[in-house]
Structure 1
């Protein structure tokens, strides 16, 4: 138990530091960025930037424009994969997530099999890279499909992938994305897909920009499942997002990050700079340098 004397000494020390103009150390969030933000960069440039700018990890969505990661030269054979893993380890970086394009809503058996097979290949690759997560999409609630059946398809797909991921020591993360961004729909899917190797990526802006659900409520509803957070900021203009550097838009990031902190979240705060889909955005070297400084004000 902390003694009264120790408590007073600590309090006086902090007060003295404030008076003398010294800053009290802040918590350091675990930072990552997605390679969605640098679609033209080769892997060495990605790694060098992450190391220089103080990131802990990289989320691989694609490399040099190739989104199907097993086709990327650096990830195409067991030898190349081992060399790439060593590059990350030598630079004291982790691969925190592999972003598959897998969508689980398809009822068509051929499309469904193709998407599940892709996810399994990403899971096997994640195992070889010592990467804990593989991201998949829900992704849609098509009007020509029964809504209940679609929700069940998404949940069943997660469970099928989880059984494969369990042996690989990988967790499959469903991202709040596409049409599946309402907290109650996501909760239902996650409950139906309850499994140690299933979790959720909370894309704060993706959800809020459409649903306007308060982040505190979203977090309280889904906190049990959240393993990873995508951070971006922007404004809605004529119903479409216009992305900005973090802290310069309208996204309720402070409320969301406060909820994560209070809830004991220990995962990554991963910048998702959507340069791949929005080439008009500022260059990645600017965004990746800005983010570590911009995010600190929330901590």
Structure 2
């Protein structure tokens, strides 16, 4: 199993700082969810046609991979399909150029909690369409366990209905545990045939009843249990820290949490 972190962790860092830190701390990869002001990954300057070769060469020299390009595209309700398809096509095209296997797409509101609408027939239709687009370039779309899809039994039924080789699952460990009170084993057993990438973050329920993110190992999220389940089942993908600093600047600074996560994981 390999370790990476999402660039959500370090919204104020340059690409150079992100890459240097990943290499210095001993990470295997970087999950890209925007860099600086560019939240749309294909818009990041280092991924433009004139700079891409240098970017790839540097990653290769440092033995760093990009396991997933994480989009903010949602397919939960009908909307601007032209924008959606153009944006995902740009992600797929970039992923092909960079040899990145996965592109994350959301099938619920872009928040962790169970809220908002989901049009299930539309989700199935769009997931299959995006899966076909990804298949043409040898890439795979990942749908995440968040929102209503934190319910892994419900999510498994959705995946069975989609039934596409190029549409699989990103298991965010936090959401099914926190919002559905699922054990890691329950979530894994329901979704194991589709899990290709994993998000990890720790947290607690504060005195006011709201959830709060904390440094790895200090909360109640079953990180260790999830890691061991994956390891015991020969999962060889990435276990990726998603520290949502971009959305909450009060969270611990990236230099602290990135070191904390990799030290914690290597101590297991």
TM-score grouping bracket, smaller chain normalisation: over 0.9
1:241: Cα distance to partner? 2.3
Distance apart, 1:247 and its partner CA: 0.6
Q: Tell me how far 1:52 sits from its aligned partner.
A: 0.5
Q: Is structure 2 residue 34 aligned with structure 1 residue 65?
A: no
RMSD over aligned Cα, in angstroms?
1.6
Please show how residues 168-247 of structure 1 align to structure 2 within 5 Å. 168-237=137-206, 238-247=208-217
Q: Does 1:133 align with 2:105?
A: no
Question: Partners in 1 of 2:158 and 2:125 — Cα distance?
Answer: 9
Report the Cα offset of residue 47 of structure 1.
Answer: 0.6
Say if 2:256 is the partner of 1:286: yes
Greater Rg over alpha carbons, structure: 1
**Ranges in structure 1 where 5+ consecutive residues have no aligned partner:** 1-28
Distance 1:281 1:39 in 2: 12
DSSP-derived class of the 1:162 partner: helix
Change (3 A) 1:190 1:54: same
CA distance in 1, matches of 2:209, 2:106: 22
Q: Deviations over 1:202-251 (max 9, x none)?
A: 00002211000111011011000000110100112234321111110011
Higher relative contact order, chain-length normalized (CA < 8 Å, sep 6+): 2
Identify the residue that residue 94 of structure 1 maps to in structure 2. Answer: 65
| Unaligned runs of at least 5 residues, structure 2 | none
- Tell me which stretches of 4 or more aligned residues in structure 1 moved more than 6 Å: none
The corresponding residue for 1:31 is 3
TM (norm. structure 2) is: 0.93
Change (3 A) 1:142 1:106: farther
User: Number of matched residues?
Assistant: 263
In the alignment, which of 81, 84, 88 is matched to residue 119 of structure 1?
88
**Distance in 2 separating the partners of 1:196 and 1:271:** 26
Distance 2:182 2:115 in 1: 22
8 Å contact kept, 1:152–1:189: no
Judge which range, 285-294 or 176-185, deviates more.
176-185
Q: 1:51 to 1:43 in 2, by over 3 A?
A: same
> Which residue pairs with 2:21 in the alignment?
49
Do the aligned partners of residues 229 and 153 (structure 1) sit closer, same or farther apart at CA in structure 2, a change above 3 Å counting? Answer: same
